[in-house]
Amino acid sequence: MNTDLFYLALSQMVLSIVLAIIIFFISYKVLIRIFQLKEENLNDSNLALSIFFSGIIFSTGYLLSGIIPSIIGAIEMLKIHAKENLFVEILKYSSLSLFIGFLLAGLIHFSSFMLAKALTKHVDEVGELKKNNLAVAILLTTIIISITIISRDSLVFLIELFLPQPTVIEYTA
């Protein structure tokens, strides 16, 4: 077994877990702030908010999980071509990719929520979620997850533009 590859894989796994925890923590805190809630409001008496928050967190995880294979591919490229410290390069590209992915996930969630508001003009979605309206929570969560599934490949393609790619030399005869 190649010990360099083992430590690289181990550090990559630890980095992914740490970044995921940070991203989910930030997502949770942003949602609490957007909905102007106290953390006590998220208890077993408000299932609607729990469903909605769970949908957004699942959506974020699903979007960012699509980025991980691209980061792994970039790490393989860096391993071959890195002239600087490999760990710093991996940290830089992983963090940048996940941060951009997180911002774009937020944009996707916001757009999905605005679409739902446009479809249900007669409903105050935030107020209904606070009142534990499960129908609204399920509808909003379904819209968010559906748009997430549809847009994931495009997000991954966009993120790959920021990652190092192999150079292809084209010979003409």
Q: What is the pLDDT along the chain (173 residues), one digit of tens a residue?
A: 667 667 777 777 787 787 778 878 887 788 778 777 666 656 667 888 888 888 988 988 888 888 877 777 777 777 776 666 767 777 777 778 878 888 888 888 888 888 888 888 888 888 888 888 999 999 999 999 999 999 999 888 888 887 766 555 566 76
Closest to 129 in 3D by CA, of 22, 47, 43, 48: 48
> Can you give the residue ranges of every domain in the chain?
3-160
Three-state DSSP class for residue 121: coil
Q: What is the pLDDT of residue 123?
A: 87
Tell me the one-letter amino acid at 16.
S
Q: Going by C-beta distance under 8 Å and a sequence separation of 6 or more, which residues neighbour residue 90?
A: 8, 11, 12, 15, 75, 78
Q: What is the pLDDT of residue 113?
A: 84
